[in-house]
């Protein structure tokens, strides 16, 4: 399943129940709200989605405002029950963001798509084991 997200020309796709959004253009303030709405709509419409990865490895310039927008999108995905990750930050971008005062402690960040996907899958497996343990505890209490 692949389709274009808005006027950005972003080809998003779902792989192993993870929405992957490879961002290959700079962020512009006038389009970020529409981008956010489109991503949230896609999350809502995609069945059995476990996670979302926004890949910014092709983006050369991110400022604090852009990062806060991405943080907001990832937080909203979490509220919808989908674990979100930001991947592909270039070292120079990371240095500039920290120098501008951005901390990034509210984001799930991974080096690349593979690392994020593994974390999402491991988190889902852990959640399933926890749910099974809770169900088992309730069955024991009922006896």
Write the pLDDT tens digit of every residue in 65-122: 888 889 999 999 999 999 999 999 999 988 988 898 888 788 899 999 999 999 999 9
Which of 6-10, 20-24, 61-65 is predicted least confidently? 6-10
Mean pLDDT on 37-41: 89
Q: If DSSP codes are grouped into helix, strand and coil, which group holds residue 10? A: strand
Residue 70 buriedness (CB in 10 A; 0-12 / 13-18 / 19+)? buried
Q: Which of the four pLDDT bands, split at 50, 70 and 90, describes residue 127?
A: low
pLDDT at 6: 46
Q: Is residue 17 left, alpha or beta, with left meaning phi > 0 and alpha meaning psi from -120 to 50?
A: left
Whether this prediction's pTM lies above 0.85 is answered by no
């Amino acid at each position: 399943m692949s389709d274009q997200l808005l006027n950005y020309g972003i080809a998003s796709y779902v792989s192993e129940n993870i929405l992957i959004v490879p961002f290959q253009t700079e962020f512009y303030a006038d389009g970020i709200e529409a981008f956010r709405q489109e991503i949230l709509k896609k999350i809502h419409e995609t069945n059995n989605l476990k996670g979302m990865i926004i890949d910014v490895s092709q983006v050369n310039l991110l400022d604090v405002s852009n990062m806060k927008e991405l943080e907001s999108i990832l937080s909203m995905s979490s509220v919808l029950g989908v674990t979100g990750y930001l991947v592909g930050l270039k070292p120079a971008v990371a240095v500039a963001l920290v120098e501008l005062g951005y901390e990034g402690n509210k984001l799930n960040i991974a080096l690349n798509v593979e690392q994020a996907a593994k974390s999402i899958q491991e988190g889902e497996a852990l959640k399933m084991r926890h749910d099974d343990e809770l169900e088992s505890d309730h069955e024991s209490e009922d006896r």
